[in-house]
Amino acid sequence: MIAFIKGKIFEKNEDEKSASVFIDVNGVGYLVYLPNRILCKYKKLDEIFLYTFHRVSENVNDLYGMETREELNFFETLLSVSGIGPKSALLMSEMSFSDIEKAIEEEDVKFLTKVPGVGKKTASRMILELKGKLPTILLENNSENNKHSFQDKTSEKYSDIKLMLESLGFVKRNIEELFAGNNQNSQQFLSEIAEKSDEEIVKIALQNL
């Protein structure tokens, strides 16, 4: 079982239907199939890291690669559907996984059949077998967007106070971290200052910097 691979690109094959790359790992070349959208980011001799799905059967010993563990999980989930093989799942991987997930949740057969090799029967089977069971990439993306939105609002709300703290000689990076809400101390600080006046917030901030 090969879980991931890291090495230098020896040769690229940007074929529309079956993109692949030879990866040189300490003098040993591995052939990995991957989406063109990933391969196009690299050039020869670039270092590359991929999470891999290792398909082994009587006549097959292939590696398929994705940039993130979430993408690989999605790829493997697609393979669980009867009638979808690695090559079809790879072609689907050229599309946005969040778009595929949305199409499945909304039972959009027309969108799913845009993938070469996926007919109405396979699309219907995907919806039947995967609806409500996907790795929730949409939820993760929304959560990440909400996180950034919260950070942006927090940054704007306390901008004057942060400037005041910076004028007192405190390091800007430390001030930003305190107001970011990215760790337990920062979250506790933000909770503590929620209903406080600017003067009180400055006093509490001074105790935490």
C-alpha 93 chain-centroid distance: 13
Residue 116 has pLDDT above 70, yes or no: yes
CA distances in angstroms from 91 to 31, 51, 131, 142, listed in the order given: 17, 17, 20, 25
Asked whether the whole model's pTM tops 0.85, one would answer no
Nearest to 121 by CA among 81, 90, 87: 81
The architecture (CATH level 2) of 4-66 comes to Beta Barrel (2.40)
pLDDT of residue 171: 81
Q: How many CA within 13 A on the CB side of residue 184?
A: 0
* Tokens 């940039």 -> residue: 67
Q: How many CA within 13 A on the CB side of residue 194?
A: 7
Domain at 69-135, CATH class:
mainly alpha
pLDDT tens across 127-178, in order?
998 887 775 544 444 444 444 544 544 555 677 888 888 888 888 888 888 8
Higher-pLDDT residue of 101, 155 = 101
pLDDT tens across 29-86, in order?
999 999 988 898 899 999 999 999 998 887 888 999 998 888 888 888 888 888 888 8
In a 3-state reduction of DSSP, which class is residue 158?
A: coil
Give domain limits for the chain.
Answer: 4-66, 69-135, 138-208
